[in-house]
Structures are given as structure tokens and as C-alpha cells.
Structure 1
Amino acid sequence: MAANVVAWRRWGDFGQELRPGTKAFKGGAKVYVIGTYPGFGDEQLEAVGRGRHHGRWISIKMPTRHLHTFRAKLVHAPAVLRRYDWHPVEREAAERQAERLHRIAREQRQTYHGGPHPDPCLCHACLTGEASG
């Protein structure tokens, strides 16, 4: 599966600060999801993508809420294929997993920070209108 990093994320006490992307990836960066951690309710996943600072391929654990637009995608990059022992997955199963992760990420973005959004807010939920619906 592939996904994109949110452009802005809420950070700090009650989510009143905004930060671009994540510490490891720029906002909008394409990453490949190579695994989730079911013991944590898929709130954490392992992602592979090009790092923010040096552009090399990196593999990190990150919260699901920092990604959006999950989709089934074939991996062609040799650097990504070397980082994980890939096994064939049916497209339908990958699409179901992508829909599930999208739901989890949306729920996490809505509930993780207890406070109201800052004004003006540029977080992914506010920019896409998912906060109101």
C-alpha cells in the first residue's frame, strides 16, 4: 500500500500548534506501508519513504493519523523492496486494508487531541473538511 504524509499536523498541548509533515517526511511525501501493529489497533505502522532531510530511503514506525489517501499500489522501487520481505497480496485484500487504515487514521485525527482546533487551522482534517463531517 501507498499513502501520503499529511501537509500539516496538530502538535503540542491539546493540538494547538501546527507542524508541517512529520519529523522524518515532508508533507505530501509518498510512503509505502509495509506493515501495521495489530496489537495497537493499527494505530502504528511501518512506513518506507524518502527522508525529509537527505532524500535517502528510510523505514520508520509512525502513527497512522499522520498519513492519508491510503491505496493499493504496486511497488517497483528496488530500495523499498530490499527493506522488507514482500509476499504477494491480492489487490482486493490490499484495498480492504487501505479502507480500514483510512478509517483508523480519520478517527485518530478527530480524537487524538482533546482541545479545539487553533484559528486558523491548517491541519489535514480542517483542510479536507473531514473535521466537520
Structure 2
Amino acid sequence: MTVESSGTEPMWLVAANVVRWRRYGDGGQELRPGTKSYRGGAKVYVVDSYPGMAHEQVTTIGRARTGRWITVDTGSRHLHTFRAKLAYAPAVRRRAEAIGVRPRSREEAEKLAGLLERLAAEYRETHHGAPHPTPCLCHACLVTPG
């Protein structure tokens, strides 16, 4: 069996996971699981970012809470563990190609993943500008002991 040239080859994309819990509401004193579109821990592929907004918003492709594939813009602060990953799922490749995602090399995907990881951590820390609730289950508090 041969691989056709109709987009059936895997694409290098940036993958990430949705935070299990996110801060919400006035001063970030409430916690909500995942995001409105994605369950906490869901794997998503980042297919676009908005340089004018300093990568604060990114376009993602992933399985929605309903189990269907969706393409949605989300705050990068709601994602973590950015990494370069080959996307094999035909649904991901079709959606990425439909919005004009150009193929990138592994090195380009790794570089973008590193940038997004740093920026997302910064956005999580500065977004609410208020102390965390006690106890706090947000991503920053879960991965930082103490």
C-alpha cells in the first residue's frame, strides 16, 4: 500500500494538553475543569497563533467534550506541555489543511512549542493579578509544590 499525495502523510504540529483546572471569575477565585470546549487533560493540536496578540490566543484542533473533532480558538494559558508531535489522524490533517496550515519541520514545531510553553506559563501567572484561592487546583499550583 502506498501513501498518496492527497494529504495522508502525517504533519508536524504543536500538541498540548488542556489544564485540568483553570481559575475563573473575579480575581480567579473560582476553579472550573478544563475549558468550555475541552475536558481537562485533553490533547489538542495548536495549528495557528495570533502574533499581534503575542500568542495569547491560539487556534486548536481536538476532541470536544462531546467526542467530536472541533477547531476552536482558546487562550494559550489554558494549555500546557507544548511539544512537537506528528499528527496522524485524518480529521486533524483535514481540518489543519482546510484553514491553510502549511507543513512545518520538526525543528519549527519544537521552536514554536518552546515559545508557547514559556508564554502560556506567563499568561497563567499574570492573567488574574490576584492571589490564588486556597486550596488551589490550577495548573500552576498542581505542578509547583508548596
Query: What's the TM-score bracket when you normalise by the shorter of the two chains?
Result: over 0.9
Matched, 1:81 2:96: no
Secondary structure at 2:80 match in 1: strand
Matched, 1:109 2:124: yes
Matched, 1:33 2:58: no
**How many angstroms does 1:115 deviate by?**
1.1
Secondary structure at 2:81 match in 1: strand
Aligned to 2:55: 42
Q: State the distance in 2 between where 1:46 and 1:87 align.
A: 14
Aligned to 1:2: 15
Q: State the distance in 2 between where 1:93 and 1:34 align.
A: 13
Aligned to 1:63: 75
Q: State the distance in 2 between where 1:73 and 1:103 align.
A: 18
Q: State the distance in 1 between where 2:130 and 2:96 align.
A: 38
Aligned to 1:98: 113
**How many angstroms does 1:88 deviate by?**
2.3
Secondary structure at 1:95 match in 2: helix
Which consecutive segments of 4 or more residues in structure 1 shift more than 4 A?
none
Q: State the distance in 2 between where 1:92 and 1:6 align.
A: 25
- Larger CA Rg, structure 1 vs 2: 2
TM-score by structure 2 length? 0.86
Aligned partner letter, 1:92: E
Cα distance per residue 1:75-107 (max 9 Å; x no partner): 111111111224321111111110000000000
Q: State the distance in 2 between where 1:90 and 1:40 align.
A: 24
Question: Identity over aligned residues, as a percent?
Answer: 61
Q: State the distance in 1 between where 2:131 and 2:77 align.
A: 17
Aligned partner letter, 2:46: V
Q: State the distance in 1 between where 2:36 and 2:83 align.
A: 23
TM-score by structure 1 length? 0.94
Aligned to 2:8: none
Cα distance per residue 1:16-70 (max 9 Å; x no partner): 0000000000000000111101111110000000001x20000000000000000
